[in-house]
Amino acid sequence: AGAADAAEPQGSLFNPTAEHYALRELCAAFVRDEVEPQALEFNRAERFNHPLFRRAGELGLLGVTVDPEYGGAGMDAAAACIVHEELSASDPAFCLSYLAHSQLFVNNLARNGSAEQKAAWLPAACSGEAIGGMGMSEPEAGTDVLGMRTRAEQQAGGSWLLNGGKMWITNGAVSDTELGDRYLIYARTAGPEVKASKAVSLFYVERGMAGFSLGQRLKDKCGMRASPTAELVFENVSLPAANLIGQPGGATVCMMRNLEIERVVLAAMGVGIARRSLEAMNAYATDRRAFGASLRDFGQIQRHIAESYAEYMAGKTYLYQTALGLDLDAAGNRLDTDGVKLYCTTMGKNVADRAIQVMGGYGYMGEYAVERLWRDAKLLEIGGGTLESHHKNMVRDMSQLDAMP
């Protein structure tokens, strides 16, 4: 069943306004007609579907949280969750590339760039003409992101010289040999005497700049195979002064603010994976007969389905409650943005695992989708913040609470 067929009515938690409901219907139709038919093929081939990405731009999905004056839809975090939930119910890998573009590049620039920067770089990103991403992680700096070694040094004329490398970059390549188009890159711009949180700056970098190259396209991943991952290399890349986003040393707040929406939409991906997996096991348990009875009549199977439904609904409710309270222009929502990702990503993986168990040998085969969803789900417990980092952040923030909500 498509999402729009069984969706809550407009005015509900999951579709709070008529605009949210219309967006969900639009996404459900896009998924049914264009995303689902290609998902297995492109994941098996480890290929990025560039035409499908451009189609998302034509539908207005790539700038869902961006002001209309820059080509966006001007919607909120709940709208971003709707798109990620719907896409991930079919093709989490395509959705991951969508996330890197729409949130890590587009939303990041929309929240932190100047009016001139947004006017120059957002319209092509919102239309799908340009593919964007963000570079934060490095070979030796993942969760310890402020330990990054990529550096930018300001030159006499005000320009910056960028050196270093970024690893695990979604949309870092669009093929085995070709970079994406535009990136926001975090780099250290001060010496060790400056506190790490005040030593990181954010820069706009684009394909074609001298010294900017593709280190390697990373293949043979466990999951998310249709989403290209790459290593980016910067060797004396000269950046104009106008390519600095915000103030020198001021990027940590940009990073923290954007991590909050990233974690919420990653949670939405977990919800989408859970929903598709739950639908698959529920239908299979009805159709399949064993020992003269429907599979759904057996207690062991009932437990898998019932617990999956309860966890899915709990996660989806937590997701949209958190999203509706999220201010995209402010930081300070870490407890629940971490909390909802902590819960929903593992929940999605567990529901996909149960779907495989219920469906047996069929669930283990690629044509039935749940094994792909299961493999894709694992990344959600790592990317955008590991589960362990969420534990640390949440317990730290909870030390300020006198009573639970």
What are residue 328's phi and psi, to 5 degrees?
-65, -15
Write the DSSP string, 114-160.
Answer: -HHHHHHHHHHHHHTSS-EEEE--BTTBSSSGGG---EEEE-TTS-E
Amino acid letter at 188? Answer: R
Instruction: For tokens 């894709």, name the residue.
Output: 376
- Asked if residue 287 lies in contact with residue 337, where contact means CB atoms within 8 angstroms, the answer is no
The pair phi, psi for residue 212, each rounded to 5°, is -95, 120
Is there a catalytic annotation at residue 85? no
The DSSP string of 167-181 is EEEETSBSSSS-B-S
Q: Answer for the pair 263, 381: CB distance below 8 angstroms, yes or no.
A: no
- Residues sharing a CB contact under 8 Å with residue 166, sequence separation 6 or more, in sequence order: 135, 136, 137, 138, 150, 172, 185, 231, 232, 234
Contact 211, 165 (CB under 8 A): no
* Count of CA atoms in the C-beta half-sphere (13 A) of 351: 34
Task: Single out the catalytic residue among 25, 85, 262, 371.
Answer: 262
- Catalytic residue set: 262
